[in-house]
Structure 1
Amino acid sequence: MAKIVMCETLELYNILNQCRGVPRLAEINYLCLIDANEAQDYYRSHIITAKNAKMDSEGTFLLPELVEVDSMQHVVVYDNNTSSLQEQGRATSCAQVFAKASLNPVKILRGGFQRFSAQYPFLRTEKILNTIMELESLKIYPVEIIAGLLYMGDEKQSMDSNLLKDLKISAIVSISESNTLEFIKEIHTLLITPVADSVRSDLYSSFERICNFVSSHINMGSRVLIVSRQGRSRASAVAIAFLIHYLKYTLKEAWTHMLKCKPIMRPNTGFLQQLSNWELHTLGTKTTDFGLLLVGHTRTTSSRRRSEGILVRCPNHFNCNAQAASGGDTKIPIPVHRLSSKQTPDWNRVKTLSRRLVPEPKLCVEVSLTISRQYLSTSRTSSASFTTREVTFHIPIAR
């Protein structure tokens, strides 16, 4: 039986706004969000993508049909206003049922729909069903770093006036070389620090000016958005620097906090060295080996991708692109088979292949951005049923 824990509204907000090319909500086994309120309340309004929990004739909550709870990365349950695990409300009763099926902790949203909808009214809806195309086109908001005060996103988000209005953003810090934000100077306070995303770039000299700018707005209760082109390297480096400055976090604590907010954040190694120096300057001591942060992040990311089916790692002796190896002249038929994690080959038991071209691979795995990490269906399908963003790995198996 999985653990049952409380989930803050900020955590659910960030879960809903993760993106890897397309919104992660489009991944089948990413989030199971359950509304345990009465059906009439659910149909009136609920959090986007939430499913209403059904009950049997005896009043016991049922697991939703067509949802593999045991393979879900996140399982979140909410009712109207449950605030602690000690409360024996609908959310607690529902979570206990899901905990028996889930492999990951089942989270109960603290404050329920009442608190979440008050903080994020733009994330509630009356819509019951969403197609994959609708999920892939959902608006993604910047992640929330400090509740109600600090956000981090990309350049595209900073140019969306409706998004800025929804989040009530008052000031923007741009760590980008482009001047695309000039037009919003009259509406929002803007600090532009043009820095290239390069290991040789100097971001350290701007940390103090940026931190003082953000602090001055946050101390007045204003909301600040930090952006860079993709919102992964420069923006995350500045956000980490601010956490060290404002909350006196160590580099490791700030890094861990940022990973929870945005798992794909990744300052380059040059910025990490500068953050280590900033930790020494701000706290008077270096408590974190940034090299260990990189190693830990790489291992975690690789493990996560393997477990979620996003990446198929091929040993060097595999010909993962047979067509390229043949100079592009050979047309290889591509049988597509959806595999569960148990059906993937054991690389350690596969013999090394020769360098010759294997014209018809024994196994082809087509990996979609929206296919779940443990897709249990084994039915064959044509590649035409997938979107153009998908990647095909041709993996010849030794005979």
Structure 2
Amino acid sequence: MLILDCRSAERYKQSHMVTARVSLTVLHPELGCLITRGQLQEYSIILLYGENFDGTDSSRDSSVDSATLQRCFCQLSSLGMDPIILLGGYSTFAHLYPFLCTHKMILLESERQALTIYPSEILEGSLYQGSAHQASDYRIIKNLHITHVLNATGECPDAFPATLCYLKLRLNDDTHQDVFESFPVANKFISQALQVDGGRVLVHCSLGRSRSSALTLAFLMEHQRWTLRHAYEWLKERRACAAPNAGFLRQLSSYEERLFGKKLTALDDLCV
């Protein structure tokens, strides 16, 4: 991901999104694109942001930000890129995720490797999916305000049983593992947790790919009333590494039939 900060250099120096670059280092108003199109094409996502992209701030700085943002968007589009503009801008992002903002310039790969990788936010401010390593990092738990954890492994212990509420489902990442009967139990746990004021749930397995994905999908299907296909596409957009094994997908298809009275999703249509 390439993140371009379209605000002033002064604002960038004060604080910016982790790994963000000043837009002028990539797209200069007079010199044009400062990196090659090939380099740009290496990024699967190009994200642009200003200070407050919601139309409510009419200050001079905001107007300058907006002009820079529009120029960068047009430049990238003319190069065949498909940039994304962050709704709400930096001010909204910093309010929601202050732990993902910094005054440091983080450009080197070694610096990126040292960054804390957070779980994926599946439902805003409520449901997250990640790995056992992330579930055992108290800084992550604290920053995301996690209150409940669904541990879908038999091999990973509950990290903070004295302070968090846990549901442990001893599942194996095996195509023959019966996960179908765990769906209602997991869904009830997640639903009740989210009904608590400020409740936030982290669903995890070992790597956050297969077992946790199956449980997350089952919850989205039941409580959002989404088809398996809709839930699967939603999850993949937010957690690209999500990959429930073939046995779990077949059981999710059966669960869809239980929920809606018929199968609405052809497994062959899922981009697995």
| CA deviation string 1:269-318 (max 9, x = no partner) | 1111110111111122210112332xx32xxxxxxxxxxxxxxxxxxxxx
Contact residue 34 and residue 77 of structure 1 kept, 8 A? yes
Q: 2:150 aligns with which of 163, 173, 188?
A: 173
1:202 aligns to 2:178 (yes or no): yes
Counterpart CA distance in 2 for 1:54 and 1:234 is 43
Structure 2 residue runs without a partner (length 5+): none
How many Å separate the matches in 1 of 2:29 and 2:101?
27
Structure 1: runs of 5+ lacking an equivalent: 1-30, 298-399
Determine the C-alpha separation between the residues in 2 that align with 1:61 and 1:100. Answer: 15
Q: Tell me if 1:40 matches 2:10.
A: yes
Q: What is the SS of the residue equivalent to 2:147?
A: strand
- TM-score with structure 2 length normalisation? 0.89
1:139-196 Cα offsets, whole Å, 9 max, x none, are 1100010011000001011000011001000000000012421x41111000000011
Q: Which has the higher helix share?
A: 2
Aligned-residue offset at 1:130:
2.8
Q: Please give the per-residue CA displacement for 1:81-113, whole angstroms capped at 9, x wherever unaligned.
A: 1137xx972322321122222x33111100010
Among residues 21, 36, 43, which one is paired with 1:72 in the alignment?
Answer: 43
Whether the 8 Å contact between 2:15 and 2:101 is mirrored in structure 1 is yes
Helix, strand or coil for the counterpart of 1:184?
Answer: coil
Q: CA deviation at 1:223?
A: 0.6
Which residue is 2:258 aligned to? Answer: 281
Q: Whole-Å Cα distance in 1 between the matches of residues 24 and 130 of structure 2?
A: 37
* Greater gyration radius: 1
| Residue in 2 that maps onto 1:111 | 88
Q: Give the conservation status (yes or no) of the 8 Å contact 2:127–2:201.
A: yes
- Secondary structure at the counterpart of residue 34 of structure 1: strand
- Corresponding residue number in structure 2 for 1:188: 164
Q: TM-score, normalised by structure 1?
A: 0.62
Q: Which residue identity lines up with residue 73 of structure 1 in the other structure?
A: S
Distance 1:129 1:232, change over 3 A: closer
Matches of 1:77 and 1:36 in 2, distance apart?
Answer: 7
Contact 1:53 1:64 in 2 (8 A): no
What are the residue-to-residue correspondences of 1:260-279 with 2, within 5 Å? Answer: 260-279=237-256
Find the counterpart in structure 2 of residue 327 from structure 1: none
Distance 1:61 1:216, change over 3 A: farther
The residue type paired with residue 168 of structure 2 is: I
Structure 1 residues 39 and 193: CA distance shift in structure 2, 3 A: same
The 1-side partners of 2:186 and 2:41 are apart by 44
Q: Which amino acid aligns with 1:99?
A: S
Cα 1:126/1:198, change in 2 over 3 Å: same
- How many Å apart are 1:62 and its aligned residue? 4.4
- Judged with a 3 Å threshold, the aligned counterparts in structure 2 of structure 1 residues 155 and 61 are, in CA distance, closer, same or farther, namely farther
- Looking at structure 1, the residues matched to 106 and 182 of structure 2 have their Cα atoms a distance apart, in angstroms, of 46
Q: Which amino acid aligns with 1:34?
A: L
Give the alignment's Cα RMSD to 1 decimal: 2.1
One-letter amino acid matched to 2:263: K
Identity of aligned residues (%): 28
